[in-house]
Each structure stands twice: as structure tokens, then as C-alpha cells.
Structure 1
């Protein structure tokens, strides 16, 4: 028995592609894509364009995996450049396959399925490539989160399409994310993969958590269908302010303990939940969810501060809010101290007289 039933094949014939995009960079890239598709011969099949771009992307990503199989070693700069170039080629070919189909009159549901199937596989290799480029394997759990979040967001985008019938691209979406990854690879080319070191030697380590707060706070407020910020300005600012305070406290701890500043932070789950809810067309009312997230980040901040303070108090044997009176020194020890102290100073005085 085949994978598709007869009724599925019949309904596939009725399928019409529907897409809505407000992407920031797509309009800028249209001239390049339109010029590129004109260079393709009319005999070139659109699906062949798609699979060619995917193979280039996979090959260049596997090159980084070859040099850094656990994403901990530094990869050659030229390999990062090839990976950036491979992703750009994939993006360009992926953008023109539909144009080639319309140009040659060969548009079909198979082309759409083939395109999205290749995209789903490409997402995996793009995630692995960028992890190797920045040596994210030094933080294996963060690497896991990054890769799984990428494929989850891709799934959610098509879940939204399944429910609404229209594939929607936001202001900051696939094209922008791909250019962001290309920029990361190019920075590795220019400064070397050690530029992204997470072991306290890179000044970028504290910057990344801040970006994880600042960028979502702007995007969530901007794209909210409920005007989440305008409706709840104090709660919104309190929520992201507490997240910022939590991350700042970790930065202070990292400075005082001369340790690394980790990228991941439990408080970032709050903004991530708001962002994910908005990404799938807000199945949960944003205003209610904001209050839940606000309570969570306040609790998380208090819990973190309490645990840090108690651990330091225990280690230094001090009290947090009270002063423990010191025991008075015994007369014997005082006399011994005075004797040792006086003889010490007498010795110094005698040595000084002799030297004079």
C-alpha cells in the first residue's frame, strides 16, 4: 500500500498555494531573484533547482561537521566561508524554483511539497552548521535547544498553514534568519571561530543574553494582535525588566567569580513562551499569558537571588541580614598578642637603629 490514499490524491489536485508575506528583506532580494531566474534555461526543471540548492547546503554544512564533529573544535575559516556561500546559494535557488515553475508553466502541488520537504531537511543542516561555526558544542544543552528550536519553529509555521490555509511570513522570518546565519559564518571567517568563545575570553558572551531579551521584547510588542504593550505597559515592562535583572545578576556573579557568562537562562523561557504563542497565531490570549509570564519571571528572580545569597552565606559563614557578634579574645591570647606584637616592633626598631 502506498503512502497516500486515493482520496488524498484526488484532493491534492484541488490544492491551491496561498502565501502572505510582510518580510523585511524579501522585497530587497526580488531584483536579484528575478535576474537569476532569467538566467535559467526553460528546460531546467524547478524541482532540479530545489534539490541542487539543498545538496550544496548539505555539503557545505557537513564540511563543518567533518572538521568539528562535536562542535567544540575550531573549524577552518575557509570552511565557514563556503558554508555561508552554500547557504546563500541555497536561499537563492529556493527562492527561484517557484518563479521557474510559473515561468515554464509547470506549477504543481508536487513542487510545493518538494520545496517544503527540502526546507525541512535544510533547517537541520543549517542549525548544525552554525553550531559548529560558533563552537556551540562547548555548551551541549544550549546546542540541543538551538537545533530543536529551529525545527520546532519550522513545524509551527506549517502547523499555522494547516490551520489557516495560508503560509504566512512575518516581518522577521526565514530570509532574515538565513542572512543572520550567513553573517555569523562571515564573522567566523573574519575573526576566527574563537571569536565566539564561551569560556569567558569573548566579550560577546554577556551580549547574547541581552539580545535574547531586547529583540523579543521589541518584536512581541510590535507584532502583537492584542497590542500587548499598549494594553499593559507596566506589566510588560515589569516582565522584561525582571528578566533583565535576572540576567544582570548572573553577569555580576560571573564577574565576581571570574567565571563564564552562560548563554542560557531559565528566565528566558518567559519571553520564549510569548514569542512562540504569537508565532502560532496566539491560541492563548496574550494579555492573560503576559500575567502568567510576569508571575513566573518574578518568582524565578526571587528564587535565584535567594539561592545565591544563601550559598554565599554558607560558604563564607556569615549571616545575610544580621551581624553575629564576635567572641572577645581571652586575656591569655591578648597578652600573647601584645607580647608578640611588642617584640615584633622592638625587633624592627632595633634593626632600624643598627642600620642607622
Structure 2
């Protein structure tokens, strides 16, 4: 997510008698593969008519501009001009996300404990994958305006992809510097990255405006790309080398930068959270307590820390990548729920199936780990990923049905819409 996001314009609903149950059969919604269809058959929270109406009325609001973004705009404008007009903005976004995930998973394959040396090409692939993701993430909004296809679904889809991408970016960075040799630092860097992304949308839920700082996502991504390139060039010896005088390994420098960045960013986030409420009596835009979103991320991080420290088999130390991915899927689901709550101006309820995986790991430890922790971690990952995909597919299809649009293709305007537009212009 960066400051070049698209302003959204909701399309009017063409059916005032809309029923949420239409989401699978609506002509504007694409039928996905069989697996996704089966996911949709399972019970999932439905957006109410009121939520869908408020989402349709939602307008994107942002403030601030990062340091490097003005310099990148020229490249992004040139790049989007090369994109075919038939390509939907959400398709651009998902291609970028897939590129980032695949390149990072290659690194996870070679470095499952974040202490190994991967082939040079794997680091280069991650650098290229992140650059592609950044570029496509920057132009999806431009493509939406270019094709006159901006909708609230585009904003939600964009932030949803960013929430998952954040998990893979922080994990890939830790692997690149071999931070697995310092598990406490790796835990901190991964979860503080996830926490800061959550806080960015927490303060948006409170104030109604997504704010960007001088040093923001664009700058961080470029810094990480440079780190991937250094890993490809210098390898293990570079990150293991010790800096004279201060006597610390070079790999700790990015961790210290993360700490300083977290302090600075969280200070700004919580200033807005505690003083910038746009609802009644300083509440959120949904009229709820400004502290209500703290429960969800607080539970995830608390359980992650307790399971890490209480594990009798050093679960995190031996399987850090698997651990981060499992809890990362949980946090991505909760962040998506927070974005939906913001865009629909609704309460974020506390109960969520996303907590199932972490709860199983915690209860297993409470009962002296009668189930193998490593096997249960895999179960937690599968459950969390399954729940995340199921939720995202359901919400996207519900919104697409309500707006009478397609998720991954640009739908030609209906004859009635063309006639209405013609009357408006005359």
C-alpha cells in the first residue's frame, strides 16, 4: 500500500431489490475454479444490505506523500500507458501479489530456518519480484481511472493484497539477512511489520483518512530491494561480518532500523487513534470505541509470543518461516476485516475463525503438547490460509454482485447504463 492508491467511485446498484444470496449467481460475477466454488459453499459472514449501501457510498480519502513517490510517478505513468485497456485493475494487483509470493516462497524453500544461504538467483528473483509488485501496485489505480472502472471493490482488493504481501515481504527480508540466527530479532521484525500495517488501517478506521509519511511503503520497499541485491552479491559473509567499534553484525542494522521506524510510525498512528476520531465523541467512523480493533491484533501477537516462548521443541527457532506464514495469514484476515469495517462503517466483531489455528497451538501447549507441535503448526497454517481465502473470495463476490461488476475483468456498460449516461451528458 502506498500513497499512489486510486480514488474510488462507487457504481450505483442496478437492482434495488438486491439479495446478498445473489453473489454466486449474479451475471457480473465470474465463476472461479472448482476449489473456490467449494470454498464459497461453506458458511461465511454476509455483508448486510446496510453495509453494502454504505460501502457503495464510500469515498477514498488519503493525506500525505512520501519522499520518493514524486520521482517514481513518471515511471509509473509510463508503465500504465503500456498496459492494455482490457486488463482490469484487480488483475494487475493479483499478478503483482502472485509474483511477490512465488519469489519469496522460493527463498523459503532454500532457507526454511532463515539461516541458510540461498542461490544467488533466488535473491535476485526476490528483488525483481518485489519491484514488479511495487510497480503493479502503483499502477492499478491509474489503470482504474484510465478505464473508468474505479469502484470500492478496487480499494478493498488492493488493501487486501497488501495485507498478505506485507507478510511475505517481511519474511523474505529476514531470510535475506539470515536473521534466523537471532530468533528474537526475527520475531520482532516480522510481527512489528505486520502490526504497523494493521495500525495504518486502524487509524484509517478511526479518522476516515489513510495517512502517509515522508518515509513510507515506497521507500521501505526500495530499501528491501537493495538488501536483496546485497544478499545476492555478498552472501553469508556480508551479513555475518562485524562492524568495527560498535561490534555488531551487519544483519542487526536492518533490525535496528525497523525498531526506530516502528517507534516513529506507531507514535504517529496512535496520535491519530487517540485524537482523530471522526465519529460521535471522538469515536471511530463507525461510532465504535477507537480501541476496539486492538483486541484482534493484540490476541494474535500475544498468542504468537506465548507459543514461541513456551514451546518445548523450540517451534519458532526450528521453523520460523512456517510460523510466520501461519500467523501472517491470521493477521491478514483480521486486517481485511478491519478494512471492510472501515469501508462499510460497521463494527468489527470480536469472534473470528481466524483465531482457530493459534488457539489450537496454545491449547496443545497447555495440555503438555500431546500432539506434535510441528504437525499442528502445519494444521494451523492450512486452517488460517483456508479461512483467509474463503473470506476474501466471499466478500469480493458479494461486493461484485452488489455493484454488478466483475472482479478480474472490465465489464462493458449495460445498455441502460449507457442511456443513463447519455441523458446525464445532455
Q: Name the TM tier (shorter chain).
A: 0.5 to 0.7
Distance (whole Å) between structure 2 residues aligned to residue 208 and residue 281 of structure 1: 31
Q: Of residues 219, 233, 240 in structure 2, which corresponds to 1:176?
A: 219
Point out the structure with max Rg over C-alpha: 1
Deviation at 1:162, TM superposition (A): 1.0
The secondary structure found in structure 2 opposite 1:4 is coil
The answer to whether 1:281 aligns with 2:271 is yes
- Cα 1:94/1:77, change in 2 over 3 Å: same
Distance 1:126 1:212, change over 3 A: closer
Partner of 1:264 in structure 2?
none
- Among candidates 152, 158, 165, match of residue 195 of structure 2: 152
Please, which runs of 5 or more residues in structure 2 have no aligned partner? 1-43, 276-426
Q: Aligned ranges for residues 152-301 of structure 1 at < 5 Å?
A: 152-197=195-240, 201=242, 205=248, 273=263, 275-281=265-271
The equivalent of 2:181 in structure 1 is 138
1:22: how far off? 2.1
- Residue 172 of structure 1: CA displacement? 0.1
Q: How many residues align?
A: 230
Query: Scaled by the length of structure 1, what TM-score is found?
Result: 0.60
Q: What residue is the counterpart of 1:97 in the other structure?
A: 140
Structure 1 residues 192 and 207: CA distance shift in structure 2, 3 A: closer
Gaps of 5+ in 1: 217-267, 286-356
CA contact (8 A) 1:67 1:73 kept: yes
Whether the aligned pair in 1 keeps the contact of 2:203 and 2:272 (CA below 8 Å) is no
Q: Distance in 2 between matches of 1:109 and 1:119?
A: 16
CA 1:125–1:211 in structure 2 vs 1: closer, same or farther (change >3 Å)? closer
Query: Is the aligned partner of 1:72 residue 2:115?
Result: yes
CA contact (8 A) 1:88 1:182 kept: yes
Could you say which structure has the greater relative contact order, defined with CA pairs below 8 angstroms and 6 or more residues apart?
Answer: 2
Give CA deviations for 1:29-83 in whole Å, capped at 9, x if unaligned: 0011000000011100000000000000000000000000110111111100110
The one of 15, 18, 24 equivalent to 2:67 is 24
Partner Cα separation in structure 2 for residue 13 and residue 83 of structure 1: 37
Q: Is the 8 A contact 1:54 1:90 kept in 2?
A: yes
| CA separation of 1:283 and 1:58: change in aligned 2, threshold 3 A | closer
8 A contact 1:196–1:202 mirrored in 2 = no
Describe the shift of the 1:127–1:273 C-alpha distance in structure 2 as closer, same or farther (beyond 3 A).
closer
Shift in alpha-carbon separation, 1:103–1:276, aligned structure 2, 3 A: same
In 1: Cα distance, 2:106 partner to 2:61 partner: 36
Q: Find 2:172's aligned residue among 97, 114, 129.
A: 129
Write the distance in 2 (CA, Å) between the matches of 1:166 and 1:111. 17
Determine the C-alpha separation between the residues in 1 that align with 2:46 and 2:214.
Answer: 36
CA distance in 1, matches of 2:167, 2:255: 22
Cα contact 2:141–2:150 (8 A) shared by 1 = yes
Corresponding residue SS for 2:221:
helix
Are the counterparts in 1 of residues 63 and 211 from structure 2 also a CA contact under 8 Å? Answer: yes
What SS class does the counterpart of residue 143 from structure 2 fall into? helix
Over 3 Å counting, the alpha-carbon distance change for 1:126 and 1:111 in structure 2 is same
Corresponding residue SS for 1:280: helix
Aligned-pair distance for 1:272?
5.2
Q: Which moved more, 1:276-285 or 1:51-60?
A: 276-285
Flag the 1:66–1:207 CA change in 2: closer, same or farther, 3 A.
Answer: closer
> Cα offset for 1:98?
0.4
For residues 95 and 109 of structure 1, the distance between their equivalents in structure 2, rounded to whole angstroms, comes to: 17
